[in-house]
């Protein structure tokens, strides 16, 4: 009887993604599985941030994720406005997520223009940031 378990990572990595596709989940490398998990976690965090921002009455601009965006590559996930024209941007990342070069450049450019930007890995940090930068000051 032959080997019936998943193929080891060092073997999977030598097989093209197209050739591994018929294998289903057994053909997914650990790094590919990690990326899928991170995307899912980022989507969950994005939904929570958006819901909280809308509940607080902020104007929220989120690029569409189901089609090619007309916003420049690397722009943060959220552009937010509060009373008096206060604004900030938030990029949601799952734990262990890494900014792309385009994201690093865009965030640096926005910050150079005076726009507060945050890379958030949790909801509490995002909420605190929004309150700090969008709420009216007494």
Tell me the pLDDT tens digit for each residue of 51-72: 999 999 999 999 877 777 778 8
CA distance linking residue 101 with residue 136, whole number of Å:
33
Q: What pLDDT score does 92 carry? A: 96
**96 burial type by CB count under 10 A (0-12 exposed, 13-18 middle, 19+ buried):** exposed
The count of other CB atoms within 10 Å of the CB of residue 74 is: 18
The secondary structure element, H or E, covering residue 120 is strand 117-120
> Which residue's entry shows tokens 């690029």?
63
Q: What pLDDT score does 26 carry? A: 67
Pick the CATH number of 9-134 from 3.40.1350.10, 3.90.226.10, 3.30.70.250, 3.30.1360.120: 3.40.1350.10
Degrees to nearest 5, angle at CA 41 with 36 and 43: 95
Mean of the pLDDT values across residues 90-98? Answer: 93
Rg of the chain over Cα atoms, rounded to whole angstroms, equals 19
Beta strands in 16-104 (DSSP E): 59-61, 78-81, 87-92
Q: Is the pLDDT of residue 18 over 70?
A: yes
Sequence ranges of the domains in the chain: 9-134
């Amino acid at each position: 009887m032959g080997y019936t378990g998943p193929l080891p990572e060092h073997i999977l990595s030598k097989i093209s993604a197209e050739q591994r596709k018929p294998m289903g989940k057994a053909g997914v490398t650990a790094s590919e599985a990690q990326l899928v998990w991170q995307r899912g976690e980022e989507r969950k965090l994005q939904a929570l941030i958006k819901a909280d921002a809308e509940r607080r009455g902020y104007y929220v601009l989120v690029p569409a994720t189901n089609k090619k965006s007309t916003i420049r590559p690397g722009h943060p996930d959220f552009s937010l406005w509060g009373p008096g024209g206060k604004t900030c941007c938030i990029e949601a990342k799952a734990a262990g997520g890494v900014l792309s070069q385009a994201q690093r450049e865009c965030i640096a450019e926005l910050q150079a223009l005076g726009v507060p930007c945050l890379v958030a890995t949790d909801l509490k940090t995002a909420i605190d940031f929004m309150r700090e930068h969008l709420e009216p000051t007494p």
